[in-house]
Amino acid sequence: MREHANGPDHPVDRTNRRGCRGSCHSPPHRKAAAIDDDVKAAIDEIANAVQVINLLSTRLRQDLGESAQHAIDLEGATARAVRAMKRLQPQDKKKR
């Protein structure tokens, strides 16, 4: 563990950081652990699957957006058809 250059009880702030040896406020450097072939293969497989998930989710979002627009268009067309049908109805309705 690295110690502060001015002692462990000396507070560190912006004015006295230059007295520190190296980078005593950052974690010590560690060498990357050797990764065996099974872990590498699993990481590759996961990365490939995430790319597919990303692509499919983008397509789904686009399709849902198009479907939502189709629903809006369908509602508008239905409303126009109802208005046209109401115009064709005779004005004099007999009560039954």
DSSP 14: T
- Residue pLDDT, tens place only, 46-57: 999 999 999 999
Does 1 have pLDDT greater than 50? no
CB 6 within 8 A of CB 16: yes
| Assigned token pair, 39 | 């872990």
- State how far Cα 48 lies from the chain centre: 17
Residue 28, SS3? coil
- Residue pLDDT, tens place only, 66-83: 999 999 999 999 999 999
- Residue pLDDT, tens place only, 3-47: 555 566 666 565 655 555 555 556 666 555 678 999 999 999 999
Please give the biggest Cα pair distance in the chain. 101
CB 25 within 8 A of CB 17: yes
